[in-house]
Amino acid sequence: MRNLLYIAVLALPMLVCFGSPSTAAPRARSYIPPARQDVYCLQGRTLGYPGNCQFSTYDQCMATASGTLAYCGLNPIYAFQRQAGQSR
């Protein structure tokens, strides 16, 4: 009887730390990929081609270009990339 008490006292902290075994299925985690940060490029006379391609949205790029002589364009990597399932 005394041995069972010792086992229970030792097992309790382990159950608290590691949790009890469960028969429930693990939750499915939905994966949300991060936004691409190189879709739009800030382009202009002093930036060269393709320019500063660190923008994930057109609005971000235009906000940076505001008040300058720069403009925004699609990154050439994406502009000329073949669409999936498209044949020649």
> Is 12's pLDDT higher than 70?
no
Break the chain into its structural domains and give their ranges. Answer: 35-83
> Is 22's pLDDT higher than 60?
no
pLDDT at residue 18, rounded to an integer: 57
* Euclidean distance between CA atoms 75 and 41, whole angstroms: 6
pLDDT at residue 80, rounded to an integer: 78
Task: For the full predicted model, state whether its pTM sits above 0.85.
Answer: no
- Decide: 50 and 79 in contact? Cβ < 8 Å: no
CA 53 to chain centre: 18
* Non-local CB neighbours of 45 within 8 Å, separated by 6+ positions: 69
Any idea which residue has 């399932």 for tokens?
85
Query: Tens digit of pLDDT for each residue in 32-84?
Result: 666 677 889 999 988 888 899 999 999 999 999 999 999 999 988 887 776 66
3-state secondary structure of 44: strand
